[in-house]
Amino acid sequence: MAITITLPDGTPLELDDGADGAVAAAAIGSRLAKAAVAVTVDGRQQDLSAPLADGAEVSIITIDSDAGRHVLRHSAAHVMAQAVLDLFPGATFAIGPPIEDGFYYDFDIGRPFTPEDLEAVEARMAEIVAEDQPFEREAMSKSRALEVFADHPFKREIIESVDEAEGAGGDQVTVYHNREFVDLCRGPHLPSTGRLPAFKLMRTAGAYWRGDETRPQLQRIYGTAWESRAAQEAYLHRLEEARKRDHRKLGAELDLFSFPTELGSGLAVWHPKGALVRTIMEDYSRRTHLAHGYDIVASPHIAKAHLWETSGHLSFYAEGMYPGMEVDEGDEYRLKPMNCPFHILIFRSRSRSYRELPLRMFELGAVYRYERSGVVHGLLRARGFTQDDSHIFCTEDQIGGELQGLLDFSLMVLRDFGFEEFEADLSTIPDKYVGDPQEWERATEALRDALEAAGLEYHVAEGEGAFYGPKIDLHVRDAIGRRWQVTTLQVDFAQPDNFDLEYATPDNTRARPVMIHRALFGSVERFFGVLLEHYAGALPGWLSPVQVTIVPVADRHVGYAGQVAAGLRADHLRVEVDDADDTVGEKIRRALTDRHPAVLVVGDDDVAAGTVGVRLRGAEERRGVAVSEAAEMIAELCRAPR
């Protein structure tokens, strides 16, 4: 007896009856057999050792693919749980999924893990890997599984909640054994623990069972696992790079901003240099918006709760809002989480004609969102921040042109700040939506056309649009290859309805405008954080809070340094004279540590000849440069992109 399976390229492969994924991989090639960790059969992943059915479409999952790394990290989580249960009598375990770049598992050992505990767990894991224990699958009834996990209440809770309809097994669940260790799991896994090439435990954290603060607190161990030691080393190196670039660390080192605990989680204060940089960003933003046909508007930080009822925020977004404030005998006010309703009220403040459309309103609007303290992360996810927010009111016919213009404008701005690689997600109509499906279709096409005209790579997120309209999310890649979401363009069919917006058409009938929401930086704070990490603190000249440091060699050169500084300031450069009582070398090092783009050193020869020594970022030092020439070089280095 033989079976025939189909490979991904459509070729048939004949195998003996009962052949499994490992046999199929070996029949294709010995290298594939070595790299194979699991197999996809008719779209479902399964263990390499599960028999293949005649006629199945089969593709081999190799260890160095995304799916393969998922399998190996998932298997590493099992090995970690096995080690913890071995080492800590009475320990129990909850869930342990693979995540991006690694895995975690949640345990209860009656106390937090110590660093010594992690070392012991890692050492025990290494033994389990060395023993090369096979992962063995077993299907069993729920009642049997409840007995197997009699001592493990979290597992029992999972078993009890397994939906009967979920698998073909009905009442069945699957468990995996390696030796005496058993875990509830659907698989697939590596064939054996010995196939785990590289892993490392990273850190621990408290985590509530089911993410619910009213349920028991568990102890989570995070680990990473890779297809080779080299891949793991490269990852740890990237992590180290990211740590060096952490904007919270740079913000403190460069004296830009801080998060005083007295203010509360996610709320920053901006120190002089940081506030100067954000002012430059905001000025750039206002200037370019004005130059591209936007009207600048402004709005307050609070509004009556009634406004947020009309806009639907209190129905759909209440958990993201701060609680109400009662004032004026029962009037409730809310801090604004978004600027949209204010701009809508400006639109609605008088009757509008088609001649005014598209109407583009722009505001640097501070908003406040209640983020859970666990997700607050420096400037990247704060509770108070300033959106560079825009709302465009247009006719349906204008959507295409507007989206095109918006996307071009957004890319121009992102390029001005030094980003060169972009990716986009296009989110389409979800199951529940408002508006006319044909209108949705046209708006989605318009978004797609805009992406294609801009030559952007994009990924379609089917059904991921908000209920009120399709959208584009733009991501940038930073200097170390990380992806950051920045800009969002969102078409909205709902708000014009909620607020009953209208304009007069050419034949003097009433029509409803369409709205487009657009935040370009996302928020000034978040974008600032991304820039700091992208540039590792060495902001481009035009954004640097100090552009030039002048270092007098000795006290007698301070007067001359002051003259040079005055000349540069007259050219609108931001200049500092370092007249501290330190050596020249120390002063230069300090200017470099502070990431100042230009350092000028002045000594006796310079005073006599009217020159300076010039050190520009990324260039060789030059001595005896005429002050006017140095000024031109620095102006060039610090020129704003527009």
Give 388 or 594: the residue with its C-beta nearer to Zn ion. Answer: 388
Would you count residue 336 as binding Zn ion (CB under 5 A)?
no
Binding mask 286-325 for Zn ion (x = CB under 5 A): ----------------------------------------
Query: Using CB under 5 A, which residues numbered 178 to 207 contact Zn ion?
Result: 185
Give 358 or 418: the residue with its C-beta nearer to Zn ion. Answer: 358
Q: Are 54 and 43 in contact (CB under 8 A)?
A: no
How many CB atoms sit inside 10 A of residue 39's CB? 25
Task: Write the CA distances from 508 to 79, 352, 354, 367, 502, integer angstroms.
Answer: 72, 11, 9, 38, 11
Minimum distance, C-beta of residue 178 to Zn ion, in the bound complex (Å): 10
Cα-flanking dihedrals φ and ψ of residue 189, to 5°? -130, 175
Give 378 or 513: the residue with its C-beta nearer to Zn ion. Answer: 513
Minimum distance, C-beta of residue 87 to Zn ion, in the bound complex (Å): 20
* Beta strand residue intervals within 131-286, DSSP E: 136-141, 172-178, 181-184, 198-208, 217-226, 257-258, 269-270
Active site residues: 340, 369, 387, 389, 391, 471, 517
Q: How far apart are CA 601 and CA 552, in angstroms?
A: 6
Helix (H, G, I), strand (E, B) or coil at 124: helix
Give 195 or 517: the residue with its C-beta nearer to Zn ion. Answer: 517
Q: How many residues bind Zn ion (CB under 5 A)?
A: 3
Give 340 or 532: the residue with its C-beta nearer to Zn ion. Answer: 340
Give 6 or 488: the residue with its C-beta nearer to Zn ion. Answer: 488
Query: Using CB under 5 A, which residues numbered 623 to 642 contact Zn ion?
Result: none
Could you identify the residue written with the tokens 């989680």? 265
Please give the residue whose beta carbon sits closest to Zn ion in the complex.
185
Closest by CA position to 606, among listed 547, 572, 559, 639: 559
How many CB atoms sit inside 10 A of residue 162's CB? 16
Minimum distance, C-beta of residue 189 to Zn ion, in the bound complex (Å): 6
Q: How far apart are CA 508 and CA 503, in angstroms?
A: 9
Can you read off the two tokens belonging to residue 493? 């069919």
Would you count residue 340 as binding Zn ion (CB under 5 A)?
yes
Q: How far apart are CA 270 and CA 263, in angstroms?
A: 13
The stretch near Zn ion (CB under 5 A) out of 221-229, 334-342, 412-420, 590-598 is 334-342
The stretch near Zn ion (CB under 5 A) out of 401-409, 515-523, 589-597, 612-620 is 515-523
The stretch near Zn ion (CB under 5 A) out of 117-125, 236-244, 517-525, 619-627 is 517-525
Q: Which of 517, 587, 595, 615 binds Zn ion (CB under 5 A)?
A: 517
* DSSP letters spanning 69-101: HHHHHHHHHHHHHHHHHHHSTT-EE----EETT
Minimum distance, C-beta of residue 186 to Zn ion, in the bound complex (Å): 7
H-run or E-run covering 617: none
Would you count residue 443 as binding Zn ion (CB under 5 A)?
no
Helix, strand, coil shares of the chain, percent, nearest 5, are 35, 30, 35
Minimum distance, C-beta of residue 452 to Zn ion, in the bound complex (Å): 25
Give 278 or 517: the residue with its C-beta nearer to Zn ion. Answer: 517
Minimum distance, C-beta of residue 206 to Zn ion, in the bound complex (Å): 23
Would you count residue 83 as binding Zn ion (CB under 5 A)?
no
Q: Which residues pair with 391 in a beta bridge?
A: 361, 517
Minimum distance, C-beta of residue 96 to Zn ion, in the bound complex (Å): 8
The residues of the shown chain that bind Zn ion, judged by CB under 5 A, are 185, 340, 517
